[in-house]
A and B are shown apart, each in its own frame.
Chain A
Amino acid sequence: MIPDELYYTESHEWVRVEGERATVGISDFAQRELQDIVYVELPEVGKRVKKGDVLCSIDSVKSSAEVYAPLSGEIVEVNEALNDQPELINKDPYGEGWLVVIKIEDPGEISSLLPASKYKEIVEE
């Protein structure tokens, strides 16, 4: 399941760009690899991240994984619902399982993200 309207990264994050807001989550492939997610350590609102920085970490029954910032900018929202229901990421990775919203600092970086077709090739490998 790789929605066409989203952008992706090689490290399995997805990005939904709406104006200057970028909503970020992890892909369906990533949540399946991690298996049952039990804890998400969310960043604080207001924190500035650079593309490639560690955005947050996700613990599953299998391992602990880091999520990287796909774009630079300020974190303007985090998905507080994950504190009580980390399983939302497993259930609905592209919807209710979103992680953070970043206020995009440099729209030029968007072109470095992968389109759905390209990400599909990576996952299928």
Chain B
Amino acid sequence: MKVIFEYSREGKKGFHIEEEKGRDLLPEDLIRDEVEVLPEVSEREVVSHYLRLSVLNYSVDWGFYPLGSCTMKYNPKVNELVASLFTEAHPLLPEEMVQGYLRIFKDLEEALKEITGLHTFTLAPAAGAHGEFTGIITVKNYLEARGERREVVLIPDSAHGTNPATATLSGFRAVEIPSDEKGMIDLEKFKAALNDKVAALMLTNPNTLGIFEENIKEISRLLHGVGAFLYMDGANMNALLGQVKVADLGVDVIHLNLHKTFSTPHGGGGPGSGPVGVVEKLAPYLPGPRLVEKEGKLRWTGGLGRIRSFYGNFLVMVKALAYIKELGGKGLEEVSRIAVLNSRYLRKKLEGKFKVSYPTETLHEFVLSDETFRDKITTLDLAKRLLDYGFHPPTIYFPLIVHGALMIEPTETESRETLDAFAGAMEKILEEAEREPEVVKTAPHKTPVGRLDEVGAARRPILTWMQYLQEQDQS
């Protein structure tokens, strides 16, 4: 496979300019006639090149993508159609001209309030971690306004890695709480760490082991007792959708991932959306702009600062709202039911040959350890070999509390046949590890590129064509 620069030949053109215009409008020193680093290629070559690249890609439309905690569910195509109807408005148009667009924001805010039971939502955050930051900063704003000095955020060791990063970035000190033998927060250790210096606990529920924190009500009661907040990382909301309103569990702040739970496209650098919901007393401390309704008209008002230009990624919200409206309350409830069923079915199929990290029942995802194969192959080998069987591998080596972890989340959009085929491939790889481990250790064999030099890529990344040429020159 070539890169686009390798098609380049001096003088080749992909466009034709009949007559140069506008040169006299520009200052002379800003005009250049030569551009050194752009490839000279024809339009035909550009189209062919990128089309060929695109078919080498693996995507959620292509096949099974059980990347744990990422909820890589199928993205219904009807949502794209709906979104295509809303591409004509500029964000700076006067409010009177875009009431319909504003109504979409409002309807989505209302839907998310209904789903979570929380008082107010902001749709501005552009991703999950951005939502976390927004949520924790909101807590910080609240505390500062009241003159409270609290410097600690508690985080279980099974949390997403973004949680301690969020706490630190927001100016708090992250303190880790260990898990107990069931894979839940160790309640005694949590109590020991809890005092009036604690601003919040950031809890992922179900956690990254796929286990529901059954003491969550007790945890929120204890937090509230010392004036601290319960932040819920809603990345795993696919397990709870329609089953419980998180506000009833004592959650004060949550971020949701529209690109996970609500089926909008995920990854590949595409826009995400991480709305944040809060209880009433935190609502005044959310970032702006806030959308208010007066006499049937929607208007923007202030709010505290901004964390994103305008009001987040609008088209992502259109798709999420379409998804919610298509399914309705009953449909959303079924989403989480089938997501959990699929995950439990796959776990049962794999349990004989693989070791599940904790014996506790899991919801939408589960984590295997490398215990049954670590003397023959590594978790990375197994993941690479899955590519040869046409599957995207699960999340590996996370959470850190499980040795050689494989974190598997099938989601509700996969058929039983797909789950069976995946389980079959997993077992086949175990047999190969026994009989011909070299095949597994050198996998993948059927992909456009083989085992990549990850160490070289991390230690000496070459990210541009110019950098590549310079490296060639030097060696």
Listed in ascending order, the chain A residues whose CB lies under 8 Å from chain B are 36, 38-39, 59, 61-64, 86-87
Contact = CB atoms under 8 A, between A and B. Distances in A.
A83 to B, nearest CB: 11
B455 interface: yes
Contacts of A62: 380, 397
Contacts of A39: 458-459
A40 to B, nearest CB: 11
Contacts of B398: 63
B400 interface: yes
A61 B454 contact: yes
A56 to B, nearest CB: 15
Contacts of A86: 459
B397 to A, nearest CB: 5
Contacts of A38: 455, 458-459
A61 B458 contact: yes
Chain B contact residues: over half helix, strand or loop, or mixed? helix
Interface string B449-461: 0000011001100
Interface in B67-114: none
Closest 6 CB pairs of A and B: A38-B458, A36-B455, A61-B454, A62-B397, A38-B459, A63-B397
B173 to A, nearest CB: 10
Nearest to B176: A66
A38 B460 CA distance: 9
A72 B265 CA distance: 49
Interface in B436-475: 454-455, 458-459
Nearest to A84: B459
Contacts of B454: 36, 61
- Which residue, B161, B398, B459, has most C-beta atoms of chain A within 10 A? B459
Contacts of A87: 455, 459
A95 B3 CA distance: 42
Given A63-B397, A87-B455, 14 more contacts: A36-B454, A36-B455, A38-B458, A38-B459, A39-B458, A39-B459, A59-B458, A61-B454, A61-B458, A62-B397, A63-B398, A63-B400, A64-B161, A87-B459
A61 B397 CA distance: 10
Contacts of B459: 38-39, 86-87
B400 A61 contact: no
B177 to A, nearest CB: 16
A116 B252 CA distance: 47
Contacts of A63: 397-398, 400
18 contacts: A36-B454, A36-B455, A36-B458, A38-B455, A38-B458, A38-B459, A39-B458, A39-B459, A61-B454, A61-B455, A61-B458, A62-B397, A63-B397, A63-B398, A63-B400, A64-B161, A86-B459, A87-B455
- Which residue, A36, A39, A62, A63, has most C-beta atoms of chain B within 10 A? A62
B454 to A, nearest CB: 5
A39 B459 CA distance: 7
Interface in B364-398: 380, 397-398
Nearest to B398: A63
B388 to A, nearest CB: 21
A85 B400 CA distance: 25
B457 to A, nearest CB: 9
A70 B405 CA distance: 28
A62 B380 CA distance: 9
A114 B380 CA distance: 33
- Which residue, A36, A38, A59, has most C-beta atoms of chain B within 10 A? A38
A48 B428 CA distance: 53
Nearest to A65: B400
A36 B458 CA distance: 10
A62 to B, nearest CB: 5
Contacts of B397: 62-63
Contacts of B400: 63
A95 B398 CA distance: 30
Nearest to A61: B454
A36 B380 CA distance: 13
A108 to B, nearest CB: 25
Contacts of A61: 454-455, 458
Contacts of B161: 64
Contacts of B455: 36, 38, 61, 87
Contacts of A36: 454-455, 458
B248 to A, nearest CB: 36
B161 to A, nearest CB: 8
A39 B455 CA distance: 10
Nearest to B397: A62
A87 B459 CA distance: 9
Contacts of A64: 161
Contacts of A59: 458
Interface string B29-60: 00000000000000000000000000000000
A87 B460 CA distance: 12
A20 B413 CA distance: 62
A86 B455 CA distance: 11
Nearest to B378: A35
A69 to B, nearest CB: 15
Interface in B198-237: none
A87 B400 CA distance: 22
A46 B132 CA distance: 34
A86 B458 CA distance: 11
